[in-house]
Structures are given as C-alpha cells and as structure tokens.
Amino acid sequence: MQPWPYPKIVAHRGAGRLAPENTLAAIMHGHSLGQRMFEFDVKLSADGVAVLMHDAGLERTSNGSGLVGAHDWSVLSTLDAGSWYSPQYAGEPIPTLERVARWLLGRQLMANVEIKPSPGTEALTGAEVAEVCARLWHAATVPCLLSSFSETALHAARQAAPALPRALLMDRFTPDWLARCQALGCVAADWNAAVPGPALLRDAHAAGLRVLVYTVNDPRVARQLLAWGTDAIITDAVDQLRPGDFGPA
C-alpha cells in the first residue's frame, strides 16, 4: 500500500456539531481540541468560486435562500453562516476553499476535501476543486485528500490533478466496490460506518487500498473499527475522539 500520512481521526465538517459546520470557526474550534485533519464539503458558486457548503440549498446553514450554485460569490460572501447554530457565531461567513486551505497550511494541518457538486455540475466541480487544491497544496508535505460520492466528479478531479490522492465515498456495500475504486485510481475507500467489517477491511488492504469510515461518534465503535484495521475515522465527536489517543498516523 502507498504510505498513509494522515491521522486516525478526522474532524467532520470542521468541529462536527460543536460549531457551525463547514466554517472556519468550526475548524478553529476543532483545532483547539487537538484535531489535526479536517473534512469539509466544497461546491461552486455560480461564478466558479469554490466555497464550503454541504447542502445544495442555503436555507439550513445560512440566512440565504435558493441554491448555492445559483448565486455569485459576491452574494454568498455577504451571508451569515453562523447564526443558525447559535448567537455566538452570528456573522460567521461562508468561507472559500482558498481561505480555509491557507489557514490550515499555515499551521501544518491536513484536509479531506469532499467534492460536493450542485446537481448537474459534477464534472465541472470535480475539475475546478481539484485544480484549486493542486495549486494551494502544491508545496505541502502532505497533500489534501479528495473524496466524493460522485464518480463523475472524482474522474474529473483525476484528470485535472492526477497527483492528488482520492477516496470514493460509498454509503452501502456493492459487489463492484473495488472495481469502482480502481477505475478512479483511488488510494482509499470511504465507507458508511454500517458497512465495513474485518473481512472487508482485509480485502481492501489486500488490494492496496486504505479505508476511511464515516461518521463514527461512539468511541467504542471507533475503537473497534480501528482495532480491525480502519485507517481513519471521520467523526463529529471531536471532543471525545482525538488523534493523540490512538498513536501516530
């Protein structure tokens, strides 16, 4: 298998549920708890700016409305992405991928960039996000890890930035999982926590693939998965599961 430079614990959407997801404030909070690698979702504005946002729509995690991909960055940059969570975070902006990357790189922290395309923009988002990541992480000792549920997006990311490592996100087991990962040149499979067991982990490792598991919030489940050989756990429980508790990456 290829070397695996990432920690065993990855903070989901910045600081899981302890701060407004996919914001720089969430990442900063996760860092204050000892987290060293952060998973976050990235999609494109209407004018092609890569921004952090999970949903296709703005309503759940901002004071905006409509589709993220229907608004230019000049509009998205004015929105409040913190008040929905608590008054403490009022005015927290939607961050760009570039802003977050520079903050992480300045502290030698790591990233799992989930490519989360707006519907109908899978190839464009995969290519654009990969190109931005390749530019920002070009001198980094540890590259960012790209992941996506969209195979179209990952294929486009591979074409745009073949040197960046990729992981295919899968929410259920399918017999062709290995062929799908290999077709995309992935270094890892990224499964829903309900899927992997010892045998599947052995199969993945035998094929040269690492395994990430999402979203694991019970420390007992996390420890069992790691004991079976899981390479990384993606968690909301960033205050309970910390990289230092599980040894070196």
Catalytic residue among 29, 54, 155, 205: 54
Catalytic residue among 12, 29, 71, 155: 12
Residue 186 CB partners (closer than 8 Å, separation 6+): 154, 165, 166, 167, 168, 209
Q: Which residues are registered as beta bridge partners of 242?
A: none
CA-to-CA dists, residue 168 to 109, 180, 221, 233, angstroms: 22, 8, 22, 15
CA-to-CA dists, residue 219 to 9, 52, 192, 212, 236, angstroms: 11, 27, 16, 16, 11
Q: How many CB atoms lie within 10 A of CB 38?
A: 28
For the chain, how are helix, strand and coil distributed in percent, rounded to 5? 35, 20, 50
Q: Is 155 a catalytic residue?
A: no
Query: Residues 128, 54: contact at Cβ < 8 Å?
Result: no
Q: Is 54 a catalytic residue?
A: yes
Residue 199 CB partners (closer than 8 Å, separation 6+): none
- Cα separation of 128 and 149, whole Å? 16
CA angle 208, 135, 14 (to 5 degrees): 70
Query: Residues 172, 143: contact at Cβ < 8 Å?
Result: no
| Crossing angle between the packed helical segments 97-105 and 122-136, to the nearest 10 degrees | 30
Active site residues: 12, 54
